Amino acid sequence: MTTGTPPPSRPATPRRSRVRTFLPLGIAAWLVLEIWLLTVVAGAAGGFTVFLLLLAGIVLGAVVIKRAGRRAFRNLSETLQQQQSGAVPAGEQRSGGNGLVMLAGLLLMIPGLVSDALGLLLLVPPVRTVLSRYTERTIERKMQSATPGTLGDAFQQARMHRPDGTVIQGEVIKDDERPAQRPDAGPRPPIAP
């Protein structure tokens, strides 16, 4: 069924960002470096030593992630209890830095010596502090330069007509005649799938 409207034209594809362009190349280079380093260490120290290093990284990473998760849950429950009792204002947040510790554990669990070195580096508190401050400043700068209301407006538009968020698929047909002027203007059936 055609409605007389022209088919939508395809917009020109936007340029890929530099991150999307170079990320696969960076991941491939990192994997090649990891494999090369593992073979060099295996040639110098033996395959069993490399296996024990990788196994130790996995175990240490799991322990680090487990402890950071427990600490994050404990901090969350303490903060909620203090907010309910009124000891801490609702706007005040206590930063525990568990995200970078979990990232360190994840890097330790990934097989490879470079990722293990980065994970161990993230476990050093001064490095975590510097990286956390840098990340926070970068995010604040990006948030200030972002156009206000883009994401919220998108959600508002999606729920503008239906408060429950239901989206009805269909097409709009504009009739030039008014229903009272049409001879067959009877009740219209409801739109339902």
What pLDDT, in 10s, does the model give residues 11-67?
656 677 888 889 999 999 999 999 999 999 999 999 899 999 999 999 999 999 999
What is the per-residue pLDDT across 147-163, written as a single tens digit (0 to 9) for each? 665 555 555 544 445 55
d(CA 119, CA 182): 74
Give the total residue count for the chain: 193
The confidence score (pLDDT) of residue 12 equals 59
Identify the CA nearest to 31 among candidates 90, 114, 123, 108: 114
Question: How open is the CA angle 160-140-81, to the nearest 5 degrees?
Answer: 75
As to burial, measured by CB atoms within 10 angstroms (0-12 exposed, 13-18 middle, 19+ buried), residue 81 is exposed
- Taking the C-alpha atoms of residue 163 and residue 159, their distance in angstroms, rounded to an integer, is 6
Q: Residues 119-137: pLDDT tens digits?
A: 999 999 999 999 999 989 9
| pLDDT tens per residue across span 76-117 | 888 888 888 876 655 555 555 788 899 999 999 999 999 999
Mean pLDDT rounded to a whole number for the chain: 78
Q: Which pLDDT value is given to residue 159?
A: 45
Q: Given this model, what pLDDT does residue 80 score? A: 86
